[in-house]
Amino acid sequence: MAESQRDFYEVLGVERDADAKTIKRAFLKKARVLHPDVSDDPDAEAKFKELNEAYSVLSDETKRANYDRYGTADGPAGFGGMDDFFGGGFDMSDLFSQFFGGGAAGAGRVRTRGRDMSVTLTITLQEAATGLDRTITYDRLAPCEDCGGTGSADGSAPVTCPECGGTGVVTSWQHTILGRMQTQSTCPECHGTGQVIEHPCETCDGQGRTPSHEKVTVHIPAGVASGMQLSIEGAGEAGVRGDRAGDLIVRIEVAQQPDLVRQGDDLICAVDIDCFEAMLGATFTMEGIMPHEQVEVNIPAGTQPGDHIRVPGYGMPNLYNPSQRGSLVCIVNLTVPKDLTPAQTQQLEAVALERGSRLSTADTAQSLLDETFAQDQQAAGASTASASEKPQPSARQILSPRRSLAMRNRVRSLGEMAPLAARSRAPSPLASVRRSARDGGAAQRGQAAQGGP
Ligand SMILES: [Zn+2]
Ligand SMILES: [Zn+2]
């Protein structure tokens, strides 16, 4: 952008302290001469582009301030909170072809009412939840300030077109093979408006409207969804010589968020819980969609992967009744800790063996049990006693009687040990979700984990 550019003030031929009106006038004056449709200059297009760029910067307060200070319209770090809209097929060249009547209107009727314009406004899901006021800037044909939109230089009212008598249409008769036919066409004198200006305003060339860089603040209500439209009456294109202006249609686009999916008024997210939390139940808090909102999520004991935990009242506000909110739906994802300490592994193996789990670490478990068994035998002095005389295992157990006994002793001793305290926690996949374990839940889990033989 900043490659060997001419000074914008120089391009427009104005002083550095020129006010907005002077800049606009200078621009329109030059634009009329330089417009590629009018000018014979082979460089007209490039010059017109340069003029356009200079005007688009100097006519915008923020951009002009940035240009004065930093030599570029973008300033040091762009504009916070302001969105520029040149999109929607509505650019400066369109604006100019309309303004200068590019090629007139052919046989069609000239429209004097302003057209509706549209811009797309992209907001975040959080902004959609809270609602907000957003200032947008765009270019439009606005009522000419110099003539108050009348198009008349001396304030005289437009007069009825003498050519068409105010109808805007001229009628002619043609002879065809089908007979005499009446054809109607747009009045060439008034371009179909039915009125003519005797002394047209110099700024707007009698149109009553001029290209303008506009700012408008839109209120976006809470609960708004993608595809919804807001209409700002009269903020679209100005009508010719004071005729009704069009509306500005603001299309809302709510940016998608990878970790939070909206479904109507519900918000769906994934939560990672570890297998202990799933088995024993857990309570944690996570950030809600509203600013500083904390949501308490209760995971009941025995929760399965993929279960939906619904927290009512923490979804999106309803557009028509913002005090009413949908639910936050947490889809449970199970994580398995990989960093168990040897002590924790032992405890878990004991529980698992007790439950008849088919452990692949049976060797470790076996050696552990053998050790215990040997100690038991020594203590009892039963060097020759058969293991089969020991108490019978329950039907549920698949262990040998010898191992079963050892197991029981082992489990009994575990009962006196500390509860499963240290728990690993994988970071949640939801960037905005922070959780904190609660002490009450941990104590309950400890008790449950100790359920003896
Ligand atoms: Zn006419
Ligand atoms: Zn004017």
Question: Which listed ligand is nearest to 143 at the C-alpha?
Answer: 2
Distance 241 CA to ligand 2 centre (A): 9
Please report the pLDDT score of residue 406 as a whole number. Answer: 45
Distance 141 CA to ligand 2 centre (A): 12
Pick the CATH number of 6-93 from 1.10.287.110, 1.10.3720.10, 3.30.70.920, 3.40.80.10: 1.10.287.110
Distance, CA 206 to ligand 1 centroid (Å)?
15
Alpha carbons 121 and 226: distance in angstroms, whole number: 10
Confidence of residue 379 (pLDDT cuts 50, 70, 90): low
pLDDT at 376: 65
Q: Are β-strands 294-299 and 308-317 bridged in parallel, bridged antiparallel, or unpaired?
A: unpaired
Separation of 237 CA from ligand 2 center, angstroms? 15
Which token pair is 115? 């057209």
* Range in 122-131, 314-323, 412-421 the model is least confident about: 412-421
Cα-based distances in Å from 70 to 17, 18, 55, 328: 16, 18, 17, 47
pLDDT tens column, 265-290:
999 999 999 999 999 999 999 999 99
How many Å lie between the centroid of ligand 1 and the Cα of residue 160? 8
**Whole-number Å distance between alpha carbons of 140 and 91:** 9
According to CATH, what is the number of the domain 111-152+203-255? Answer: 2.60.260.20
Place of tokens 């356009």: 52
CA of 146 from ligand 1 middle (Å) equals: 25
Q: What is the mean pLDDT of residues 233-259?
A: 92
Where is average pLDDT lowest: 1-10, 343-352, 393-402? 393-402
- In CATH terms, are 111-152+203-255 and 261-338+424-451 the same topology? yes
Rounded to a whole number of angstroms, the CA Rg of the chain reads 39
pLDDT, one tens digit per residue, over 340-358 is 999 999 999 999 999 998 8
Span 380-399, average pLDDT: 45
State the Cα–Cα distance between residues 135 and 82, nearest whole angstrom: 6
- Range with the poorest average pLDDT among 127-141, 202-216, 282-296, 403-417: 403-417
Average pLDDT over residues 85-110: 43
Q: Helix or strand or coil: residue 426?
A: coil
Rounded-to-integer distance, Cα 192 and Cα 15, Å: 40
Please report, as a single letter, which amino acid is at residue 159: V
CATH (residue range 261-338+424-451): 2.60.260.20
What number of helices (H) and strands (E) belong to the chain?
11, 16
Q: How many angstroms does the Cα of residue 110 sit away from the middle of ligand 1? A: 11
Rounded to the nearest angstrom, the distance between the alpha carbon of 343 and the centre of ligand 2 is 87
Q: Percent of the chain having pLDDT more than 90?
A: 38
Measure 191 CA to ligand 1 centroid, in angstroms: 6
Output the CA 248–ligand 2 centroid distance in Å: 22
Ordered by start, the domain boundaries in the chain are 6-93, 111-152+203-255, 159-196, 261-338+424-451, 342-379+395-420
Q: In this structure, which ligand is nearest to the CA of 185?
A: 1
Q: For 306-327, give one letter per residue: b (16+ CB within 10 A) or e.
A: ebebebeebbbbebeeeeebbb
Q: What is the pLDDT of residues 48-58, one digit of tens each?
A: 888 888 888 88
Nearest ligand, CA 186: 1
Reference 61, options 219, 232, 214; nearest CA is: 214
The larger pLDDT score, comparing residue 363 to residue 192, is at: 192
pLDDT for res 373: 64
> What's the gap in Å between 153 CA and the centre of ligand 1?
20
Alpha-helical runs (H) found in 3-58: 8-12, 20-34, 44-58
